[in-house]
Structure 1
Amino acid sequence: MNLDIYTNKSKEAIQSAQQLMSQNHNPQLEQIHLLVALLEQEDGLIPQLLKKMDVTLESFRAAARAELQKLPGVSGSVSLDQVQADSSVISALNAAEDQAKAMKDEYVSVEHLLLG
């Protein structure tokens, strides 16, 4: 994964996902961390898109957060220096990069992350 080809908002979402993982004491980064991070982005494109689709954003966020709470946790703190990503996250990030290429976009943006 080459973060140089990710937009600032995409990088922020990935960093937020890592922070969620750490705050919840989860042993590895999962797709649900990334989804929650995308849903909670200030002035983010994903919440705007969902609103245009008449999705009740607060209910969707609550459901995603509930799934996040179901993940196993570890005792002690989880270091952001040693983030372990689940294979599904790596696949999703690779798919997001492929989506960007297919759409002839130079950078991987949040919509690519959602599609990935």
Structure 2
Amino acid sequence: MNIDKFTEKAQDAIAKAEASLAHFEHNELDAEHILLALLKQENGLVPQILKEIGADPNQVIEHTRVALAARPKVSGTQGQVYLSSRARQVLSHAEKEASRFKDEFIST
């Protein structure tokens, strides 16, 4: 994964997802960490889309937080960060979609 292929907003979401690992005491970045970062992104597209389809972004945020909090915690999360296979799939799919739309960058 080449982070330079991501827009600033996408890079910000990945950085915030990674930063949330310490809060949840996790060392594996998963799809839900990315989702939570996208949901909380100021002026982000994800909350707007959820509203358009009649979903409450705050409710999705809360469900995502609960799911993340229920996962096993790791002490000493200051070390190596791992990317889960699901997170890899999400990012790989995003890259393929950008290619399909002939976009130079991966966006949110």
TM-score bucket (shorter structure): over 0.9
* Residues 30 and 86, structure 1, Cα contact 8 Å, conserved in 2: yes
Identity of aligned residues (%): 36
* Residues 27 and 80, structure 2, Cα contact 8 Å, conserved in 1: no
* 4+ runs deviating over 6 angstroms: none
TM-score, structure 2 as length reference: 0.93
* Residues 5 and 108, structure 1, Cα contact 8 Å, conserved in 2: yes
Unaligned 5+ segments in structure 2 are none
Shift of residue 58, structure 1, vs aligned partner: 1.2
Q: Distance in 2 between matches of 1:87 and 1:59?
A: 26
Higher relative contact order (CA 8 A, sep 6+): 2
The CA RMSD over aligned residues, in Å, is 1.2
Other-structure match for 2:16: 16
Q: Any residues of structure 2 matched to 1:33-44 within 5 Å, and which? A: 33-44=33-44
Number of aligned pairs? 108
Shift of residue 83, structure 1, vs aligned partner: 1.5
**Quick one: which of 88, 92, 95 aligns to 2:93?**
95
* Residues 10 and 108, structure 1, Cα contact 8 Å, conserved in 2: yes
TM-score, structure 1 as length reference: 0.87
Other-structure match for 2:3: 3
